[in-house]
Structure 1
Amino acid sequence: MSQSDDQLLKRLLAMFEVEAEEHLSAIAAGLLALEQSPPRERAQELVETTFREVHTLKGAARAVNLGAVVAVCHAMESVFAALKGGRLALTPGGMDLLHQGYARVRGLLDGSVVAGPDQDALVSALEAYAEGREPVARAAVPPEPAARTEPPAPPPAEEGSPANTPSADTPADAPRVGSRPTLRIATSKVDTLLRHAEELVSARLAAGRQVADLGGLASEVAERVRSHERARRRLEEAEDSPAARLLKQQGDTLRWLSGRIAQLANAGRQDLRILGKMLDSLLDEAKQVLMVPVSALLDPMAPLVRDLARAEGKEVELIIRGGDLEIDRRIQEEMKDALLHLVRNAIAHGIEPPEAREAKGKAPRGTLAITVAQTEAGRAEIAIADDGGGFDVTRLRHAAAEQGLMSAEAAAALDDDEARALAFRSGLSTSGLLTDVSGRGLGLPIVQEKVERLGGGLAVESTVGLGTVFRIRLPVTLASFRGVLVEVEGACFILPTGGVERVARVALGAIATVENRETVVLDGRTLGLVRLADVLGLAPTRGNQAPPSHYTVAVLSRGGQATAFIVDRVRDEQEVLMKSLGPQLARAPYVTGASVLATGEVALILNIPDLLAGAAQAPATARPMVAVSRKKSILIAEDSITARTLFKNLLEAAGYQVRTAVDGVDAWGALTGGEEFDLLVSDVEMPRMGGFELTTKVRGTPKLAELPVVLITSLGSREDKERGIDAGANAYLVKDSFDQGNLLQIVSHLV
């Protein structure tokens, strides 16, 4: 988690504490009032009010990742829903269960209890009561203490016996206390130490440059000594004069200086070799600290697959192989979203519903297999395979033509491999509705970009009717990479070597214009030709000059797409250590990071996919780096202050202008009060007016009918999603599987 995210979470937790106390007080008051056996109408009002308080508390707890609180609140919600619907009568035993649920939530929040088996039993009892089964009277179980009691100290060892020798009744393979001393330390501290160790790479590069300069100076001085000796001998042959004697003295001084510089250069080279070995060893050992089994990334996929499959009405079995392979934790964190995209893609688009599979002669339950294996030293492969229907190339061709990516004729002319490659085009989707699972057309492009940024590669194998396999090849550890240094308009930029196909010099006469675009033929291929300065929006620094006879170009390629970029000069290729630009510049176009060169110069590292996309869209004139436009305005309707603040901070950090409303009525007043909004984000269950009703009113108003609407709710059943579609929502996100990246992608797609 970044520092800004950590600070946001702390603020959200502080707000949640205040909000939770208010909700708990209201819940306690409601339960006490219900115990007084109020009149029927008053009882219904108390049930409704307490129900809403529990629901809002659950949503706020989910926003700050308090899963144990969410579980108890959800079970209490089920009881109140049954009471509200008249399917359940409030009995003394049921009242006791609700009070136990309230006490459990309060204990979880103040830290006096922790989740455990007794909480699972309580949740089960609440759910059973909600289904009409009267709770069985049982003795009160004391809550599990939050603090764990330390085991008693072992008796002292007898004199002369080893302290850690196991007793006779201890299994030989049982772990012994003190046999493997460990230290628990925050991962942030380990990350900091590793980052400092990696920064030494820059110091090594600088030292290498200085040693090289010193070696060059030694060679130059040695050459000057030889020239001086030749001049002295010629003068001595002519006459023995004071000038000749002075030249001899100077020659002695130069020879001493030359020898001394040569000694320093040799010592510097030796020290550099020693430093390099020590640094390599330090980096290897530091990286091993961050090597964790990939099961830490893959094991949480099981509940996700189950929930996604249930939401899609499908049956899916998840198989994980090779989870014991260790991969850098930072790589796993970077790949988490990419793997989630592939899993969602396999369930939403790959694996068929049970009835469709049976009609094809398949088992009703589909299989999703994730296999991890080490392919070579320092690299691993993650294969995500499903036994679904494979890529539907016909639908991909149709979607590409329908969404304006190419003409219908061009789409029809694509072969199957080219049609499958369309799936990696940003914005193309074969799904009609935006949900938290699919529909944005961004999943596969994001996966490809993530993999390439980590120095890996992505390959796809698909057979119609049999399934699809995505193969991700990645380094096992993060390390510095090779980069090509280029100069453009006086600035230095770095192009990752993996995306640079070649560099070349192109004669001015070899440049042709095709359909108002400059092109050049290299290696028998016709490539588009653009100026890197134009794509980056850099202003000329040298005024009007006559065009040169030759241009220097760097051919960048990705996924079969290649473009030649004109640069002023290719300076060098060298090892590069990337630095993050921080949250302030996280959205800077075309840039992924920066590096400090051995000369002390800061060079920006450019993103190859972004450059290729920018070259395809670049007009004939220079393209500005940042487009100046009105900030997109978003209205958030959410009754929980914690969830409302979470969404507001998230969207404002992404550059949007945000206005909030406490419920549907408040949001409707803002929408009809003259303010202009580009998007509405709404909770579904809110007092006075819910999200479904608000969406229906928006679609029924001509002025607002085209306003995009995103619904975020804890109601995740197929019926609820269909109700959202019927109301006119453009996207439907379930809080149980809420992901900040999904929300930002959906918002970006809709506005």
Structure 2
Amino acid sequence: MDKDFLNKLLATFTAETKERLAAISTGLVELEQSASPEREMELVEALFRETHSLKGAARSVNSAPIETVGHAMENLLSAMKRREIKQVPELFDLLHTSVDTIGALLPSLEAGPSPGEKERLRELVLRLHQAQRGTFSPPSLPPHPAPRAEQEESPHGGKAAAAHTVRISAGKLDTLLHQTEGMLTAKLAAAQRVEELRALRKDIATWEKEWKKALPALRRMRRQLKTETAGESPAGENDAPIRKLLDFLDWNYALTREGGYRMSRLTKGAEQDLLHLGDMVANLLEDVREALMLPFSSLLAILPKLVRDLSRDLGKETELLIEGESIEIDRRVLEEMKDPLVHLVRNCIDHGIESPGERERQGKPQRGKITVTVSLVESNRVEVVISDDGGGIDTGRLREAAAKLGLATPEGPDQAGEQDPISLIFASGISTSPIIDDISGRGLGLAIVREKVERLGGAIAVETEKGRGTAFRITLPLTLSTFRGVLVQAAGRLFVLPTTDVERVARKERTAFATVENRETIELDGRTLSYVRLDDVLELPRDERADNGKDHLSFFVLPTGQGGIAFGVDQVAGEQEVMIKGLGPQLRRVRNIAGATVLGSGKVVPILNSSDLVKSAVRLAATGGSSSHPAVVEESPSRAILVVEDSITARTLLKNILESAGYRVKTAVDGVDALTLLGTEDFDMVVSDVDMPRMNGFELTGRIRASRNLTDLPVVLVTSLDSREDRERGVDAGANAYIVKSSFDQSNLLDAVRRLI
């Protein structure tokens, strides 16, 4: 067989087998939980057919190991159809092990199994044959490693897929989408040209109007010249320049009128072209997006087996219910949401669902329930709710864990100015688990979940009731890259916010604004909202001229759990479709900024992060935010900081941030270089990475603490290592602050620096 053809055939077989394994795994979980004999037989029949087809496909590509396991599974399922064996947990464990084994064999189809794998396969087939006789023996060899998670996912929508389909690389579709989205910039540029043509046509109309006002005077002048010429006045010889000027004005008028007619036709043609281009771009974008849309079932297919296996490991009984899995969403959103969703479901089992004995004592069914519900909440947003009927979140233990990190007081939620204790669950480092294991206890999971959700332009909230359960509500955009945006101006600069995040935009008289307890407020629709200036929140110098003489002030409202916050702006410039562009890895996480876009004029405009804006506004109000941003406090020139970082990009970024704040900065490429500089120059602080060649940040910190001259020198570690063990190692080494790059915010760094020196 031709090698190229064989490779294509193996690729097709691999994709098909992944789909069949996903269907078999889902069917086994449902069969194990089924209480209806009729449904049980339907599922067994479906599993038998899937296994039979898998065996035949394996034979066609000469994959004897997969064919052998598939044939043994087919015989076992045939015995189940004839009701010759009982459906006991050991039977399902064996079938799931067989599915995992076949999945793990897929990457080595050409090379074949290793000697160790062959021995495991022989034992697995023997156990499958024994199970046909009702005998179940534990494996004598370690089980075959389970396939990677991405191998467990179905590559597309399964049963809902169209009958006539073509397999195409997702990377090619992504490239096609990016190129198609680039046409949006051309559409915006065309719209800008149309506006310029309209403005030019308006100017010509204004010119023509003014010309008509001057026309009677010109006619009188021409008649006067004719009269003087007819009377052969001596002055007539000197009138030649005036006649030339009048002739030129007549010619200019005729030419300009003709230009006005041509400009009108050109403008109408451009408007028609823009209309057609807009429709074409919109339709093309919609078609390509639909090609990249996948049903939630392609993501949720991994959950039934996850719930089953984890429940058995923890000695719990759990039922998983999924609703709305047919709703389609951007594949890129699904990819980003895989880990957060898995983490939340694991949390439900580990922290939420009680043991069967405990549930029975509480009068609950022994089997706990986890529900994943997907629903459309708007035309372009979707809500995912992950809920359980377990014991709920223990707010007392949560507050104790937060108090240890200085995020709350142990007295209770009545302390003035404290946040809702439930919201503390998303703080980094907080965990109510008594131990650290491979499932929980590190206190980083939910913080990462919220960060990923907000990075996608979504939001997450939690609801809990003691003894009744917990629910996490996640709202997500249906698609990425393009959206409708509100264009606002503040401090003389333009910004864009997603239209879906904005509750409303409005203008109010100055008399509608009031100051309550040193905080500005505004009355709107019977509600009293907090009012802040957008330029203050973004720490930009306010343009006082923008407000002078205005009887009305413009603002937009972002909703919050407590009602909403009004953000004052110079003006609301309009609404348009925009395409989001990332800021690059150097600016991956900038507070209040989600990305950037290019307007039709070619101007680059920042896209604001609505979630960050609300947090910044709350922080500004808590510190008694001023009506105008204060001038930057100049640091003493004697404050010198040594930045130790092996990456030139990160080193440059840190250096620029600190120098912009007024500090003198020198850099070193690793710990050895840093110690050399510390021995020859005086510094007030060291800001260091951890993972570096020759001497890492932990070792450098230890050497600084061991030095008689440097022992009191503040050290801040800025690193991508975010595990609790790494944090504890940094503290043990003597670091004064530990900042994780994944949640890096320049204000966090500057706050730490100002506190320590």
TM-score exceeds 0.5: yes
Q: Is there any run of 5+ residues in structure 2 with no aligned partner, and where?
A: 1-64, 66-103, 129-136, 142-162, 226-242, 647-669, 671-686, 753-757
Aligned twin of 2:178 = 195
Cα distance change, pair 330–503 in 1 and its aligned pair in 2 (3 A): same
Hey, what's the Cα distance between the residues in 1 that align with 2:561 and 2:275? 39
In structure 2, give the amino acid aligned to 1:593.
G
Match of 1:298 among 292, 297, 300: 300
Partner of 1:206: 189
After superposition, the C-alpha distances for 1:486-525 in whole angstroms (9 at most, x for unaligned) are 34444433233333344556749956474xx643334365
Shift of 1:384: 1.9
**Could you tell me which amino acid in structure 2 is paired with residue 112 of structure 1?**
A
What amino acid does structure 2 have at the position aligned with 1:572? G
Aligned equivalent of 2:689: 656
> SS in structure 2 opposite 1:605?
strand
Contact kept in structure 1, 2:352 and 2:469, CA below 8 Å: yes
- Is this contact kept in 1: 2:292–2:330, CA < 8 A? yes
Relative contact order higher in (CA < 8 Å, ≥ 6 apart): 1
Give me the whole-angstrom Cα distance separating, in 2, the residues matched to 1:678 and 1:312.
Answer: 37
Contact 2:580 2:597 in 1 (8 A): yes
Q: Structure 1 vs Structure 2: percent identity of aligned residues?
A: 37
Distance 1:556 1:428, change over 3 A: farther
Q: Which residue of 1 aligns with 2:198?
A: 215
Which residue is 2:121 aligned to?
Answer: 121
The answer for the alignment partner of 1:389 in structure 2 is 391
Q: Is the 8 A contact 1:375 1:381 kept in 2?
A: yes
Letter of the structure 1 residue corresponding to residue 289 of structure 2? K
Cα 1:218–1:509 shift into 2, 3 Å: closer
Alpha-carbon contact 1:520-1:528 (below 8 Å) kept: yes
* Residue matched to 2:111: 112
Distance 2:285 2:139 in 1: 61
* CA–CA distance in structure 1, aligned partners of residues 414 and 474 of structure 2: 29
Query: Is the Cα contact below 8 Å between 1:556 and 1:563 reproduced in 2?
Result: yes
**Distance of 1:224 and 1:191 partners within structure 2:** 50
- C-alpha RMSD of the superposition: 5.6
Partner Cα separation in structure 2 for residue 508 and residue 289 of structure 1: 52
Match of 2:212 among 215, 229, 244: 229
5 Å-filtered alignment, 1:84-483, equals: 112-113=111-112, 118=118, 120-121=120-121, 180=164, 182-185=166-169, 187-233=170-216, 235-236=218-219, 240=223, 242=243, 247-306=249-308, 308-309=310-311, 312-373=314-375, 378-393=380-395, 395=397, 404-405=406-407, 411-412=413-414, 420=422, 423=425, 429-433=431-435, 437-439=439-441, 443-444=445-446, 447=449, 450-451=452-453, 453-454=455-456, 456=458, 458=460, 462-478=464-480, 480-483=482-485
Cα distance in 2 for residues equivalent to 1:448 and 1:133:
41
Report the CA distance shift for 1:704/1:314 in structure 2 as closer, same or farther (over 3 A): same
Contact in 1 for aligned 2:482/2:580 (Cα 8 Å):
yes
Q: Runs of 5+ in structure 1 lacking a partner? A: 1-67, 69-104, 136-178, 635-647, 649-653, 685-690, 711-739
Q: Does 1:604 align with 2:588?
A: no
Q: Taking structure 2 as the reference length, what is the TM-score of the superposition?
A: 0.57
Once the two structures are overlaid, the 10-residue window that deviates more, 283-292 or 489-498, is: 489-498
Return the alpha-carbon distance in structure 1 between the equivalents of residues 105 and 610 of structure 2. 52
Query: 1 CA distance for matches of 2:390 and 2:642?
Result: 44
CA gap of 1:440–1:522, structure 2 versus 1, over 3 A, is farther
Quote the Cα distance in structure 2 between the aligned partners of 1:479 and 1:328.
10
Q: Determine helix, strand or coil for the equivalent of 1:658.
A: coil
Residues 1:248 and 1:465: Cα distance change in structure 2 (over 3 Å): same
TM-score (norm: length of structure 1): 0.57
Closer/same/farther in 2, CA of residues 329 and 110 from structure 1, 3 Å limit: closer
The whole-number CA distance in structure 2 between the counterparts of 1:220 and 1:575 is 28
Give the deviation of 1:257 after TM superposition: 0.9
> Per-residue CA shift, 1:528-583, capped at 9, x if unaligned?
55554454444x497x9999566755444433364444545443332221011121
In structure 2, relative to structure 1, the CA distance for the partners of 1:520 and 1:481 (3 Å cut) is: same
How many residues matched?
531
CA distance in structure 2 between the partners assigned to 1:411 and 1:435 by the alignment:
30
Contact 2:481 2:581 in 1 (8 A): no
Higher mean C-alpha displacement, 466-475 vs 505-514: 505-514
**Counterparts of 2:457 and 2:216 in 1: how far apart (Å)?**
60
Shift in alpha-carbon separation, 1:369–1:633, aligned structure 2, 3 A = farther
Relative distance call for 1:198 and 1:119 in structure 2 (3 A) is: farther
